[in-house]
Amino acid sequence: MWALFIGALIIIIITHWVYSWRNPRCRGKLPPGSMGLPLLGETLQFFAPNTSSDIPPFIKERMDRFGSIFKTNLVGRPVVVSTDPDLNYFVFQQEGQLFQSWYPETFTEIFGRQNVGSLHGFMYKYLKNMVLNLFGPESLKRMLPEVEQAANRRLQQWSCVDTVELKDATASMIFDLTAKKLISYDADNSSENLRENFIAFIQGLISFPLNVPGTAFHKCLQGRKRAMRMLKNMLQERRAMPRNQQSDFFDYVVEELQKEGTILTEEIALDLMFVLLFASFETTSLAITLAVKFLSEYPLVLRQLTEEHEAILNQRENADSGLSWKEYKSMTFTFQFINETVRLANIVPGIFRKALRDVQFKGYTIPAGWAVMVCPPAVHLNRAKYENPVAFNPWRWEGVELNGASKHFMAFGGGMRFCVGTDFTKVQMAVFLHCLVTKYRWKPIRGGNIVRTPGLQFPKGFHIQLAKKDARKKEKTADNSA
C-alpha cells in the first residue's frame, strides 16, 4: 500500500515539475514557444550543426511557427528570442534601465567572472575607456604602418609555399600583432606558445557545455586555464619590474593598478586581457577568410575592389610610401565590401541581455530574470529589409552611411556595448585586402565549406595558393618571347 502511495506521489511530483517547466509562471502573457525537455530545454537543437546560408534552422523554424518573438530554454535558462527589429532596438536602448548584459553561466565560466561583458555601469565604462586608449582612432592612425607591414610580411611568406590555410594563417598574423601591442609578446622568442592555448579554447567555445574529460568544452576550459596562467605570470613579472615608458597595454594596466584608490583589480585586468586577445584575432580571421572566399567566387567584386586599391597607388606622389590614414578613409567600396561580408558572416549568433524587471512589449511580458537573445542573423537576412538577403551584393551598401549599429545591422553589437574593437577590425580587414589585391593573385585549392554550430566555422579550412602578380607577368613575358 505504502509503495503504491509513494509511487503515485513521485508521479504527481514529476508531472507537476514537467508541467511547471513547460508552462513557466508569468504575470502577463509570455511569448509563444516551447521550453523543450526538462533541464536540457532546446539546447541540443540550438547547437546542432547546419550548413545553411539563410537564417539558422533553429531560429527560422520557430519564426515560422511562433512569429518574430518566441520563448525557449537554453542550457537550463528561460530565454526570449528576438528577431524583431523594434524589440532589438528597445533592448539595446534600455541597457542599464530595463536590461543588462548577460551570458549563460557556461560563457561566464569560459571568459571569466570579471570579464568586460559581465560588468555593468561605471566599471564597464571604465574598462571601455581603457580599451579605447589602445584601439581608438588616434591609436589606430599610429598603428596603421604596423598593420600594413604585418600583412605584407605574411603574404610574402605564404607566396613561398605551395598552399596556405587562410583561416589559421590570418589568425596567427592578427594574434601576433595584437599580442605584441597588448603584452609585447613575441612568439618567435617565447618559451611558451600562447596561441596554442587559445586554439584549444576556441575549439570548444561554442559547443555543448559538458565539462567531462575528452569533450570540446572541457578542452576549452583547460585552454583558458593555461592561457590565464601565462598571462598572470607575465603581469606579475611586469609589476615586479615596471618600465619607465608606456610601450604596451600591460604597462598601462600596471599604471592603473598602482594608482591609489584604483577600482581595477588584477583579476579584472587579466580577464580583460584574455577577452581582448581572443576577440581581436578569432572573429577578424573568420571575416577575412570569408572575404577572400567571396572574392574568389565573385570576379566583378574582385575587379572593382582591385581598381579602388590600384587607384590609391597610382595617385601617390611617392610610390614607395605606405598607406596613409587619408587613403584608408577613402576606401569607399572596400567598406561596402566589409559591411556585406560581416552581414553574411553572422559570426556572433546571439547577443544576450537579462530583464531586470517585468517588461511589456507588443502585448507580451518578458519576466524579470529571463534572458533575451537578440538574433543578428535574423536581422541581417530579413527579406523585408534586404532584397535577396542571402545573395552577396556589396553594392547594396552604396550611399549608406554606417557609424554604428542600427535596427537592421548589428554585426558589431548594439547600444552602449557596441564593440569598441570595430575600427580595429575594419583597419585590419581593409589593409589586408589592400596588400592582397594590389600585389597577389590566388586560387582556392580545397576547403571553404561553412558549418555553423551555431557560430561560423570552416571545418576543413580554406586552402589557397598565392602568387605575386609581378612574378606572373614575368612568366607571361618569357613565354611570349619564347
d(CA 175, CA 353): 29
**22-77 tens-digit pLDDT:** 667 778 899 999 998 888 889 889 988 899 889 999 999 999 999 999 999 988 88
CA 179 to each of CA 130, 222, 250: distance values in angstroms, whole numbers, following the listed order: 16, 20, 10
> Facing residues of 468 across strands?
440
Give start and end residues of each alpha helix (H) in 241-265. 249-258
- Is residue 217 within 8 A of residue 104, CB to CB? The reply is no
Confidence at residue 278, expressed as pLDDT on a 0 to 100 scale: 75
Of 8-22, 384-398, 450-464, give the lowest mean pLDDT range: 8-22
Confidence at residue 2, expressed as pLDDT on a 0 to 100 scale: 63
Q: Which sign, positive or negative, has the C-alpha torsion 282, 132, 139, 228?
A: negative
d(CA 41, CA 207): 15
Confidence at residue 184, expressed as pLDDT on a 0 to 100 scale: 80
Confidence at residue 415, expressed as pLDDT on a 0 to 100 scale: 67
d(CA 235, CA 119): 22
Is the pLDDT score of 333 beyond 70? yes
Mean pLDDT of 230-235: 83
Mean pLDDT of 287-292: 96
Confidence at residue 473, expressed as pLDDT on a 0 to 100 scale: 46
Helix then strand then coil, % of the chain, to nearest 5: 55, 10, 30
Is the pLDDT score of 340 beyond 70? yes
| DSSP assignment string, 10-28 | HHHHHHHHHHHHHS---SS
The domains found in the chain, sorted by start residue, are 1-101+357-380 (3.30.43.20)
d(CA 425, CA 455): 18
Is the pLDDT score of 341 beyond 90? yes
Q: Is the pTM of this model over 0.85?
A: yes
CA 426 to each of CA 367, 407, 429, 447: distance values in angstroms, whole numbers, following the listed order: 38, 20, 5, 25
Is the pLDDT score of 18 beyond 80? no
Is the pLDDT score of 211 beyond 80? no
Confidence at residue 393, expressed as pLDDT on a 0 to 100 scale: 97
Confidence at residue 478, expressed as pLDDT on a 0 to 100 scale: 38
Mean pLDDT of 425-431: 94
% of residues, the chain, pLDDT over 90: 45
Q: What cell numbers appear for 189 in the block?
A: 622568442
Is the pLDDT score of 472 beyond 50? no
Higher pLDDT, 90 or 455: 90
Q: Which of 336, 366, 369, 452 is nearest to 84 (CA)?
A: 366
Mean pLDDT of 251-278: 82
Confidence at residue 79, expressed as pLDDT on a 0 to 100 scale: 95
Give start and end residues of each alpha helix (H) in 259-322. 266-297, 299-314
Of 180-184, 192-196, 369-373, 409-413, give the lowest mean pLDDT range: 192-196
- Is residue 88 within 8 A of residue 379, CB to CB? The reply is yes
Phi, psi of 438 (to 5 degrees): -85, -20
